[in-house]
Structures are given as structure tokens and as C-alpha cells.
Amino acid sequence: EKQGDRAVMLRSLRIAARSGLVSCQVKLGDKLLYGQGVGVEYANPEEGAEWHLKAAEQGVVRSQLIAADCYLQGVGLEKDPAEVDRLLGALNWEKLPETINKTQLGVMCYQLSQIYMQGKIQLTKSKFRDYPKDDERCFTWTKRAAALGNMTAVAQLASLYDQGIGCEESQEQAFVNWKRAAIGGDARSALQTGIYYFEGRGVPRDSMKAVEWIKQAAKRGDAEAHLTLGEYHHDMNLYEKSLEEFRIAAEAGYAQAQYAVGWYYFYGLGVRRDFSEAVKWFYRAANQDCAEAFFYLGMCTMEGKGLAADPEEAKRLMIYGRTLNPNLAKDVERYLTDASFNEANQDAANLSATPQKRKFFQFGKSKEAEVEAEEEEVESEQDL
């Protein structure tokens, strides 16, 4: 009997909806799209989506959102970003209704921005369809999502301003949005905020605030922040702290950090010298094509430190590292041909292949920089 009642109710709603009664179109759309109050046996997503689409064309905001989401998710309607853009674009963005779910709308805007950014529509978990990229539309929908409080969109907006994608480049706006997302709890944005403070991009330079924000990023689990703190402590000659930070980033898979940990073990900075441990970390970094790691593996293999000596393999490793990073050519040539240079580098890191390649901080001279400065001073005095 209940099933009969449901069928009669749906039939009556269809008659009213077809006559143009908007409230019935919305109600019928809900029942068919979600099986609301009628059970799954009466659910018909395709018809339900069409009724919401009809109501949307007559200005019903809730149906505009539902129809847009159907086009976005491919529920009852074929995925169509252009239709999502049209339906959401028809909203009164200057004065959105109080009843609107701003969180859900923010997610939809962000998802639409991703389609424009990536130029792809996800059809299934592993299947995609190409779609025209559009930087300006990506920026528009990212900005709208950010205005609705979507922190992922706020961080993306900062990146767009930073690179001038779909908008005029603005380091000031990039900083404002990085900091907003950082305050909202985003770890990567906290790191970027720190970098902007240090470099003075879009904000007056402030090294103390830079360190504070990067520490916040590290506390929130950002591995690159640990790498950056490792570089900072290294420049301050705080080697034990530096190694601790590098190790966290290394365990997270950062090749430069893995190389740095190996480098610390190789020279015994902040830890007892251990060539076997150094080789282990150099190998991990080399597996990610870290050129400097290949150079040091070559040194260890040439001298039998931490593994069996093999001069031919050592040369191969060094040459491969030079291929990955031509800047190592001078070091490779000097190491393979100059015995005095080889000997000098057993206790001092005078090579260009140091874990300072990618640093943001220059608060103080590193130990190596001081050694080099002293050598240059001695040479100049000898010239006199």
C-alpha cells in the first residue's frame, strides 16, 4: 500500500512540476535524485537532476547548486565544467543568501578551479578526459573559493599571485594569502610565509618572524620546513640541531636532506664520524638522482670508506654525478687528478658539493665559509 501511495505521490508531483510549479520541481528533484521519502527503488538520478536543472533556470538558488554539483560529480548528468561555471556564475556573488552552504560552495568552486588548472576531468578513479586549461577561469574560481573560506583555495590563490597565473603578479597579495592560509593551519603556507618574511617578498624582511613561521610549519609536519631549519641551524654552526632537522626531512624522502645526513656522518659534524652510515644515506639520496650524493659515493668507493674500494666504480659514480650536475665538473676533475686536493678534503668540506646548495638562510658564516675566507686571506698576504 505504501508503495502505491508513493507512486501516486510521484505521479501527482510530476503533473504539477510539468505545469511549471517550481516548488514541485524542486521537491520532485529531491525525491528522485536522492530517493528522499520514497526509497531507493523510486530513485532516478537522471530525472531528478533534470528537475533541479529546470528549477535552477528559474532562479532557485538551491537547485542551481544541486544542478551544478550534478554536472561537477557526474550524478544524473554528464560531467560538464562549462555548465558548472554557468550555473555557479549565475549566483549573486555580491550578496549570497544566508541559507547557502558556503563550505560546500567553496569546495565546488575549488574543484572547478582544479579542472581549469589541470586541464583534465576525472571520469573514474584512474580514467581522465582532457579539458581546455584556462588560467583566468582558474584564478576566478580559486578567488571565489578562497573568499568562502576554503583554506586550500587560499593557498592556491597565493601561488597564483606569486606566479602571475591568470592574474597580474603580486608578491604583496601572495604574501597576504600565504599568511592567511598559514593562520588557518596549513603547514606548507606557514613555510611559504616564513620564506617571504626572510626574502622580503611582499612584506618587509624580518628574519625572526621567518624562523618563527618555518618552525610552525615544521611542528605541523611539513618535511621541507625541517629541511629549511636544518640549513638554518647549519649556518649557525648548530650541527647537532641541524642534523636532527635534516634527519626528519630525510626520513620523509627528501633527497637533499638524505644527502645532508650522509654528509654530516662523513665529516663527523654533530655526530660521531661513521662512513658506513654516511654511505647508507648517500645511497638513499643517489636513488633519487642527487648528484652530490654520487660524488661522495665515488669518494667513499675510491677510498674504501664504508664499503669495498673499487676505483673504476668510483670514477663511474663521480662521472654520473657530474652528468646530473655539471657544476660538479671542477670537483670531479680535481679529485681524480690532484692527490693533494684529495687529501685536503678528508677533514674539511671545501667542495662545492655541500648540503648548502638550496638554502634560504645566511644569518652567519658556516664553518666551511670561515675556513675558505681564512685561506683567501692567507693567499692574499702571500701575494703581498
Domain ranges, residue 32: 1-92
Residue 58 has a pLDDT of 93
Q: Per-residue pLDDT for 381 more than 70?
A: no
Q: Which of 57, 92, 127 is the last residue of a domain?
A: 92
Convert the pLDDT of each residue in 245-276 to its tens digit: 999 999 999 999 999 999 999 999 999 999 99
Q: Is 149 among the domain residues? A: no
Convert the pLDDT of each residue in 198-231 to its tens digit: 999 999 999 999 999 999 999 999 999 999 999 9
Q: Which of 62, 92, 122 is the last residue of a domain?
A: 92
Integer Cα distance of 331 and 351 in angstroms = 7
Q: Per-residue pLDDT for 43 more than 90?
A: no
Q: Which of 50, 73, 92 is the last residue of a domain?
A: 92
What is the count of structural domains for the chain?
A: 2
Q: Is 107 among the domain residues? A: no
Q: Is 132 among the domain residues? A: no
Task: For residue 3, give the CATH number of its domain.
Answer: 1.25.40.10
- pTM, entire model: 0.79
Task: For residue 290, give the CATH number of its domain.
Answer: 1.25.40
Q: Is 37 among the domain residues? A: yes
Integer Cα distance of 361 and 369 in angstroms = 14
Convert the pLDDT of each residue in 132-167 to its tens digit: 999 999 999 999 999 999 999 999 999 999 999 999
Q: Is 21 among the domain residues? A: yes
Q: Is 366 among the domain residues? A: yes
